[in-house]
Amino acid sequence: MPDGREYDRLRLRMVERQIKARGIRDERVLEAMR
């Protein structure tokens, strides 16, 4: 099980990849996913 910081980094990278895949560049969408 990864520690909290590593998990957050992986999750953020996954969220960024999803946003790029959808072409979403809205900061509020990024905030809502956190």
- Spell out the domain ranges in the chain: 4-33
pLDDT of residue 34: 64
Sign of CA dihedral 2, 7, 18, 32: positive
Question: Model's pTM, two decimal places?
Answer: 0.47
By CB atoms closer than 10 A (0-12, 13-18, 19+), residue 30 is: middle
Please tell me the predicted confidence (pLDDT) of residue 18: 83
* pLDDT under 70: residue ranges of the chain: 1-2, 24-27, 30, 33-34
